[in-house]
Amino acid sequence: MPAISPEQLMKKALVLASEAALEGEVPVGALVSLPDGRCFEGRNRIQERSVLDHAEMEAMNKALSAVGRHGLGNATLYCTAEPCLMCLGAMVQARIGGLVYGCEEPRFGGVALLRELWAEGRYPHRFPIASGICKDEARRLLVDFFKERR
């Protein structure tokens, strides 16, 4: 099976974000990618279910159900927007292998704070973080969604 590129994975996450927007949810999509090629998808379901049902949480819950508590060390979570503090905390607890996100989220994103906590010596589990893949598409989904709401 040929490897899926980070761009292809982010485009899948963008499709999930678009689906969320069509249902009135903030357009965020996520997926957990395992080295064996399996992917576990998630999208925001905050309006549908609970304020805790973020895309990242749904994708990680599905992955953890499939591979077990200690199975995400080699997994990468792809998310269309910078994760919030709740989702980043869950990534630390799940021992995720890496994070890739599309666009920054200036109001609720928590990557800068997580890095500060790492620098202080807190949260011994650290993982690589990359951003900017499909940034413009991810940002456009958010901007258009909130423009319609105002």
CA 19, 56, 7: angle at the middle one, nearest 5? 70
Concatenate the DSSP letters of all residues of 108-145 into one string: T--HHHHHHHHHTT--S----EEE-TTHHHHHHHHHHH
The question of whether 137 is a catalytic residue gets the answer: no
Distance of CA 128 to the CA centre of its chain: 14
| Structure-token pair, residue 150 | 């105002």
Q: How far apart are CA 29 and CA 18, in angstroms?
A: 8
Question: Which one from 7, 19, 41, 56 is the annotated catalytic residue?
Answer: 56
Which active-site residues does the annotation give? 56
